[in-house]
Structure 1
């Protein structure tokens, strides 16, 4: 079964698991209304490629964000979030990733809590610059009243699944070592066959891959598969997309751990915690393959779903509040109704910070 067929099958199984829930479903997206901690329990094990989500921050105490004022202490909030970490660990693919947005005030405690379940790969600072002429709260607030540095930035914790007993060893490293051992090949032998030589230890690139220092290219993985299968001791090797945790950046895109994507300007119907579509697409592009399944369990107005559709991924959105659940449905329906021949215009309107999910938007294309 190809990667595309496998993801379609997995998405169909997820879709079927929500058949008795309040939900909206298309061939590429599912929107579910309800308590996400409970709804996550319906998702099959190891079925999600990327969790890209923005939980309540707790420290901001906003009335217009569900559960932002629900916890009396930081400890109560962290305990609640650990319930999510347990479910995320269960449903995330071994080669999957997580981006979790959080406030600067809570990021340290959340990072420690997450490290019990995941490898912490990056602690990203989003500087939240504004468009020219729009200063936001940074421009309005009284600087002289401050008693600490103004918390204008937000944090993004980027993590991967951890291996039991060794939080630093990647799942692929264990997988490769297991298959190589079954095949009866030494690290030296497999290095010779693949022709990739690293600078660490005598095992070369194979040693680096097995200890989680780096990952093989698609071409290198193909050579690994041929070498292992030719021994006749291993009957099947999975596709590259099912074993490698994708991470692909370059000098042409944001590759450092300080991000400067512009904030979403206020507009009628804007979600109070809405994230820029360009930033969400950057997360998805860098860490997933086409047809992978993306989950946002604090979906808000559904921007993660739209970013996923723009990049030909499957999406699952879970939202507690009826108002925003309906907004997600409207945005997905409008996306579906735009002609396939106007992809450039479709992307443009979905990226607009003034986009409001209503069916009148479709009339722009006749």
Structure 2
């Protein structure tokens, strides 16, 4: 079986396993998506470990104190809120694949405290500033602000904390670094010997690329990884090395997409039935495409409007959403059912998105 087929089947089996294991708790499910209507912590504790490749989620901000968002006004202090979010961090680390990623939206007021907490469990790689520009011709609420009444700079932007699982044992707390050292040591090879076998010499140290990989400074290409696997197996490695897609955290950007840590995706314009914290599909799809492979599982434990789930389907991923408010679960269900009615270009059983689905109404085809 080709590698890509093996990965596809692996992810599909993992998704079906979650669906069967948590069947009694499911609000709605189809072959690509699952919705749970429950407190997110209740469901997260039931999800098998190392199931999700990406956690893309938008928790209550706490600092905004919005009455129309569940739990946004539930905490009497910042510390109480951070303690609650740490319960999620513990479950996220267990559920996330070792080469997975997290995007967590938050307010500028809480970003520093959240980043400090998350750094106990994850390598925080970036804190992204989403500037939320208005579309041409749409003034939005920024123009209505009475600037003279302000006592500090108005928080027009939002933050997105981007991180990966951290495993102690090397300089950068890299999962792959630890795995490579473990397998190399099991074969009684020095870093210099493995370097010679794969021809990955460094310009400064004799350990070359192997030393850098094991410290977590950088990662091998797929070609280099295949050489590593072949070299270790030739030296008697008992168990085969995992597939590249199960080891290396994907990160794919280019000059045609947002590649800096300042993002300019326009916010979602008001419409009847809009979720108060709805995020634009284009931005969510950018997160998903950049950090996952097709068929991976994308998890949103504060699903809200369901835009993360729709974005995952548009990019041919499996997806799981958890939402405590039944009203929004029903709204997500309708969006997913609308998606299922779209014309398809049958690719591995996935619907190929041809409609916009930005709102909860039936999509307008391109």
TM-score range, shorter chain: over 0.9
- CA distance in structure 2 between the aligned counterparts of 1:193 and 1:152, rounded to whole angstroms: 54
Measure, in 2, the Cα distance between the counterparts of 1:271 and 1:199: 54
Q: Does 2:223 align with 1:219?
A: yes
Pick from 53, 58, 63 the counterpart of residue 59 of structure 1. Answer: 63
Contact 2:187 2:237 in 1 (8 A): yes
**Which residue of structure 2 lines up, in the alignment, with residue 44 of structure 1?**
48
How far residue 95 of structure 1 moved from its aligned partner, in angstroms, is 0.8
Partner of 2:321: 317
1:28 corresponding residue in structure 2: 32
Gaps of 5+ in 2: none
Q: Tell me, in whole angstroms, the C-alpha distance in 1 between the residues paired with 2:41 and 2:292.
A: 24
Q: Choose 303-312 or 97-106, whichever is displaced more.
A: 303-312
**Residues 166, 188 of structure 1: alpha-carbon distance in 2 compared, 3 angstrom cutoff:** closer
Which of 76, 86, 93 is residue 97 of structure 2 equivalent to? 93
Who is 1:150 aligned against? 154
3-state SS of paired residue (2:355): helix
* 2:245 pairs with 1:241: yes
Query: 3-state SS of the aligned residue for 2:114?
Result: helix
Q: CA deviation at 1:357?
A: 3.5
1:200 and 1:318 map into 2 onto residues whose CA distance is 49
> Could you say which residue in structure 2 is the equivalent of 1:170?
174
Distance change (3 Å), C-alpha of 1:175 and 1:263:
same
Match of 2:119 among 115, 120, 133: 115
Q: Deviations over 1:93-129 (max 9, x none)?
A: 1111100000000000101111111111111111111
Q: Deviations over 1:216-265 (max 9, x none)?
A: 11111111111111112333111111111111212222111111111111
* Secondary structure of the structure 1 residue equivalent to 2:162: strand
Structure 2 contact 61–106 (Cα < 8 Å) conserved = yes
**Over aligned residues, Cα RMSD in angstroms?**
2.0
Return the alpha-carbon distance in structure 2 between the equivalents of residues 200 and 128 of structure 1: 44
Deviation of 1:200 (Å): 5.2
Task: Give, in whole Å, the separation in 1 of the partners of 2:235 and 2:62.
Answer: 55
Separation in 2, partners of 1:293, 1:4: 11
Q: How many Å separate the matches in 2 of 1:212 and 1:83?
A: 27
Residues 258-290 of structure 1, C-alpha deviations (whole Å, 9 max, x = no match): 111111111112111111111111111111111
Q: Structure 1, unaligned stretches of length 5 or more? A: none
**Mapped contact 2:104–2:160 kept (Cα < 8 A):** yes
Classify 1:321/1:167 alpha carbon distance in 2 versus 1 (closer, same or farther; 3 Å): farther
The residue that corresponds to 1:336 in the other structure is: 340
Give me the whole-angstrom Cα distance separating, in 1, the residues matched to 2:216 and 2:204: 12
Q: Is 1:349 aligned to residue 365 of structure 2?
A: no
* Residue in structure 1 matching 2:301, options 292, 297, 304: 297
What is the CA deviation profile of residues 115-149 of structure 1, one whole-angstrom value per residue up to 9, with x for unaligned ones? 11111111111111110122222111100001000
- Any idea what SS the aligned residue of 2:223 has? helix
Residue of structure 1 in register with 2:86 after alignment: 82
SS at match of 2:79: helix
**Contact 1:179/1:234 (8 A) holds in 2:** no
Aligned to 1:308: 312
Instruction: Quickly say closer, same or farther: Cα 1:217–1:166, change in 2 above 3 A.
Output: closer
**Which structure has the highest helix share of the two?**
1
Q: Tell me how far apart the structure 1 counterparts of residues 96 and 147 of structure 2 sit (CA, whole Å).
A: 43
Deviates more, 1:228-237 or 1:263-272: 228-237
Match of 1:17 in 2: 21
Give the aligned partner of residue 265 of structure 2.
Answer: 261
Deviations 1:159-184 (A, max 9, x none): 11111365722000000111111122
Alignment CA distance shift 1:33-1:322 (3 Å): same
Partner of 1:160: 164
The separation in 2 between residues aligned to 1:47 and 1:332, in whole angstroms, is 22
> Distance in 2 between the 1:51 and 1:308 partners?
11
- How far has the Cα of 1:208 moved from its partner? 1.2
Give the TM-score taking structure 2 as reference length.
0.93
